[in-house]
Structure 1
Amino acid sequence: MCSTGSSNQPRIWSHIWKLQVPERVRCFAWLVAHNRISCNEQRVKRHLSSSPFCYRCPLQVETPLHALRDCPPAAYTWSRLVPAERQFSFFSNSLEQWLSSNLKEEDKLGGDIPWNAYFSIGLWNLWKNRNDGAFNGIEKTLSPPSLLQATKIKADLWYKAWSAPRRVLGRRPVSLQRTPTEIGWSPPPAGWDKMNVDGAANGRQGPAGAGGILRNSEGRWIGGFVCSLGSCSAILAELWGIYHGLGVAWQQGSRALILETDSQMALQLIDKRTDPLHPHSTLLGAIRRRIARDWVVKLAHTYREGNRAADWLSKHSLVYPYGKLELTTPPQGIQHIIRDDCRGTTFTRSIVTAPHTHLAL
């Protein structure tokens, strides 16, 4: 839970997106990890406040670590949740070490709640209580014992709700099975075009990019693109791929389009209502506006075996200069993939399904 950090810390963001907690909590954890919450230290830098100090602790600069760990209400809460033998490292780590070690920890802490879920919900609850005090007056805040109890109750309720089985028959969870399935690219119906897109990211500080290929119902090349994105997360690269794929298809005259991606997470983010605090809300809004143009667009999930050409383009986008490059002819490296797709070449993949249903999980 509270091990000391090292230069080889796990990627914090990968632990955040795996948390079984509400979306708003994941978004908040992402903001904390990127030092983007509006504590007074940041508010002074943005000329939104004249004082960098904590409203409770007049001599303490309100950093994210102070607001969420060291301020008395936060310290009281954590001191009663964290085992005594782990408290020294918990209260002495840097912000990055503190987040990394706690967000990756899945040990259960009473009530079968993994610690990383408990920790992230605690962060959210502490921040809400801090905001009530900072903007509505200290009398509006919960006392430390009440704050502790509220955190325990909320963590228990939220985790139980968000960790329920995704598919149930009656009241029994559906058992899962793997079925060998042939996967390959399939052409769109007559009169439709298909845009396959993919994103690639080489670690937190490494390059990221996206690529896409547009083909007609006969599998013939219409156009494509590669886009070098600098440094960003894998999911952000996937979303940029979808955004640029829609733009290229529109410019090429497609008015009935199937857009395929192998990122189920990207499709879920586009499909559901996004919290304004979500780090990618602006890009998601731009994607939805492109979909809402005067055309028919269907977003679909495919597996990597059916997305080979876009996968090739996204990986090769990493070596291009920053920005988007539209392709008028297919690069030599994907011509054999396009031929395979036209021939109907498939690859065997083990697909997880729910038996006695037609739902792929």
Structure 2
Amino acid sequence: MQLREEAPLIQHAAVVPQPWPRPPVGCVALSVDGAYSNSDGSAAAGMILRRTDGSVIFAAYSCIFNCNDALEAEIHALMQGMALAIQHSELPVIVQSDSSEALLVLKGDNLSRSAYGHLVAEIQFLMGEREFIPSKIKRDQNRVADWLAM
């Protein structure tokens, strides 16, 4: 009779989520996230605006109709969050997203001639209304906006 040898136990270090990065004094932080499902084409955007002490100014989500891909959902989340931030705060806005590609829209017009051109144009218009500062954060630092977009 042959005995089966058991695999050794592998202990993994506990993964501690990184905390949400607070904005500097005199600014607010807008965390945004877009969600897209390849299987059925459904999409949504989640956004939350917070003060330096972490208190919530607003939290919102919206369904996105006729969305083509995940990047479009992320850009929609940026645009909708920025429009709401202008309505709810006079302070400069740190825009936090876990999508580097979407944040590039805030730094230039590299997507203005793409299928997302209409969204890029709206974002550029909103940037004339307020100071928006892009900030790339890790996915686990963007849990609230991610949850809102689900």
Residue correspondences, number: 135
User: Aligned match of 1:288 in 112, 116, 124?
Assistant: 124
Higher RCO (C-alpha under 8 Å, 6+ residues apart): 2
Alignment match, 1:216: 51
TM-score normalised per structure 2:
0.81
Distance in 2 (alpha carbons) for counterparts of 1:302 and 1:235: 16
Q: Does the residue aligned with 1:183 lie in a helix, a strand or coil?
A: coil
Distance in 2 (alpha carbons) for counterparts of 1:277 and 1:236: 14
Is the 1:270–1:288 contact (alpha carbons within 8 Å) kept by the matching residues of 2?
yes
Alignment match, 2:91: 255
1:234 aligns with 2:70: yes
Is the 2:112–2:120 contact (alpha carbons within 8 Å) kept by the matching residues of 1?
no
Alignment match, 1:199: 34
Question: 1:302-313 maps to which residues of 2 (within 5 A)?
Answer: 302-313=137-148
RMSD across aligned positions (CA): 2.0
Is the 1:204–1:231 contact (alpha carbons within 8 Å) kept by the matching residues of 2?
no
What 5-or-longer segments of structure 2 have no aligned partner? 1-14
Q: Does the residue aligned with 2:109 lie in a helix, a strand or coil?
A: coil
Distance in 2 (alpha carbons) for counterparts of 1:277 and 1:296: 24
Alignment match, 1:274: 110
Distance in 1 (alpha carbons) for counterparts of 2:88 and 2:111: 33
Distance in 2 (alpha carbons) for counterparts of 1:183 and 1:217: 17
Distance in 2 (alpha carbons) for counterparts of 1:214 and 1:268: 20
Q: Which has the larger radius of gyration?
A: 1
1:299 aligns with 2:144: no
Report the identity percentage.
Answer: 28
Residue identity opposite 1:257 in structure 2:
V
1:235/1:204 CA distance change after superposition, 3 Å: farther
1:8-43 Cα deviation digits (max 9, x unpaired): xxxxxxxxxxxxxxxxxxxxxxxxxxxxxxxxxxxx
Is the 2:17–2:141 contact (alpha carbons within 8 Å) kept by the matching residues of 1?
no
Is the 2:105–2:120 contact (alpha carbons within 8 Å) kept by the matching residues of 1?
yes
TM-score normalised per structure 1:
0.35
Distance in 2 (alpha carbons) for counterparts of 1:204 and 1:285: 29
What 5-or-longer segments of structure 1 have no aligned partner? 1-179, 316-361
How far did 1:276 drift? 5.2
Distance in 2 (alpha carbons) for counterparts of 1:259 and 1:243: 11
Question: 1:109-120 maps to which residues of 2 (within 5 A)?
Answer: none
Task: Detail structure 1 runs of 4+ shifted over 6 Å in the superposition.
Answer: none
1:230/1:273 CA distance change after superposition, 3 Å: closer
Distance in 2 (alpha carbons) for counterparts of 1:287 and 1:246: 8
Distance in 1 (alpha carbons) for counterparts of 2:113 and 2:134: 24
1:291/1:236 CA distance change after superposition, 3 Å: same
1:275/1:287 CA distance change after superposition, 3 Å: closer
How far did 1:279 drift? 0.6
Report the structure, 1 or 2, having the larger strand content: 2
1:89-126 Cα deviation digits (max 9, x unpaired): xxxxxxxxxxxxxxxxxxxxxxxxxxxxxxxxxxxxxx
Q: Does the residue aligned with 2:75 lie in a helix, a strand or coil?
A: helix
Distance in 1 (alpha carbons) for counterparts of 2:20 and 2:112: 35
1:239/1:296 CA distance change after superposition, 3 Å: same
Report the structure, 1 or 2, having the larger helix content: 1
